[in-house]
Copies of this chain bind each other. A is one copy, B any other.
Amino acid sequence: MKWCRFDNGGKPTYGIVEGSNVVEVAGSPFTRYRRTARLHRLSGLKLLPPVIPPTFYAAGINYPEHVTWAARMRGQEPNLPKKADVGYRANNALIGHNEPIIIPKDATDQVQYEGELVVVIGKQCKNVTEAQALDYVLGYTIGNDVSERTWQRGDRTLWRAKNTDTFKPMGPWIVTGLNPDDLHVKITLSGRVVGEYDVKSAIFGVRHFISEMSKYLTLYPGDMLWMGTDGATENMKDGDVCDIEISGIGVLSNPVRRER
């Protein structure tokens, strides 16, 4: 099942994608819902981020090649995380499929993509085992954890490096019934493949993060966890288009604009 969220004459509305159509839904996948008789052409809809989470979790550094690459860029030895210490991102930065990533005037040219699997929680949980963890997942979508690298290195927190408005593209929709271990990520910048990896090469997997987090935190419907990216990343410039494809989900595509 593919859940999208779209601009319905100014009102954010959930829908179920079926082929080239979207069945409008009353309610949401996180509460109750019913299919309505209203049908939309997918191609005519403005898609919104498929969820606005109560809490926006991000694994951060979670893939060995990315950790190694990032450490070398800073002239340091790679230091793999020893525990699934989750971090945070911010809702202000979320945009949907096809919306532009806006690079602020005072950013350097080091504004880079990070293509990631996004896990969307469907049911409230606390103290769940790894074996139970996926029972609380609604489904999976795609995120681009856009990062300004000089701010990321120089500021005390990641506030503007990762959470400047438009720096968190997400979508196009949430797909249910997938096994995260089967998924493959491919990142394309203006038509050129710039990165590829298997989700299952993560240092800590989806089941482990959910189980560890839930020892201390209640996870709520709509909470989401961005799983981190692997490999090196490159700068995006004005006029680029960044596409993140995950097998079984689809393609999240966003143009890049620099503010003048």
Chain A interface (Cβ within 8 Å of chain B)? Answer: 52, 54-55, 60, 81, 83, 85-88, 90-93, 104, 126, 155-157, 159-160, 163-165, 213, 215-220, 223
Chain B residues with CB under 8 A of A217? 90, 92-93, 159-160, 163-165
Chain B residues with CB under 8 A of A60? 156-157
Q: Please tell me which one of the listed residues B92, B157, B163, B219 contacts residue A92 in the complex, with CB atoms under 8 A apart.
A: B219
Top 10 closest pairs, chain A to chain B, by CB: A85-B156, A160-B216, A88-B88, A164-B216, A87-B157, A85-B155, A55-B90, A85-B157, A86-B159, A92-B217
A87 touches B126 (CB 8 A): no
Q: Please tell me which one of the listed residues B54, B83, B104, B223 contacts residue A52 in the complex, with CB atoms under 8 A apart.
A: B54
A216 touches B90 (CB 8 A): no
A85 touches B216 (CB 8 A): no
- Residue of B at shortest CB range from A79? B156
Count of identical protomers in the assembly = 2
Chain B residues with CB under 8 A of A52? 54
A54 touches B213 (CB 8 A): no
Tell me, rounded to whole Å, the shortest Cβ–Cβ distance linking A190 to chain B: 25
Chain B residues with CB under 8 A of A85? 155-157, 159
Q: Please tell me which one of the listed residues B54, B165, B220 contacts residue A218 in the complex, with CB atoms under 8 A apart.
A: B165
Chain B residues with CB under 8 A of A91? 54-55
A92 and B156 in contact (CB under 8 A), knowing A164-B217, A165-B126? no
- Residue of B at shortest CB range from A167? B216
Chain B residues with CB under 8 A of A156? 60, 81, 83, 85, 87
Tell me, rounded to whole Å, the shortest Cβ–Cβ distance linking A254 to chain B: 18
A126 to B259, CA, bound (A): 15
A86 to B219, CA, bound (A): 24
Tell me, rounded to whole Å, the shortest Cβ–Cβ distance linking A74 to chain B: 16
A104 and B216 in contact (CB under 8 A), knowing A85-B156, A157-B85, A159-B87? yes
Chain B residues with CB under 8 A of A220? 92
A55 and B92 in contact (CB under 8 A), knowing A126-B165, A164-B217? yes
Could you show 14 A-B contacts with beta carbons less than 8 Å apart? A83-B156, A85-B155, A85-B159, A86-B159, A87-B156, A88-B88, A88-B157, A92-B220, A104-B215, A126-B165, A159-B213, A160-B216, A164-B217, A165-B216
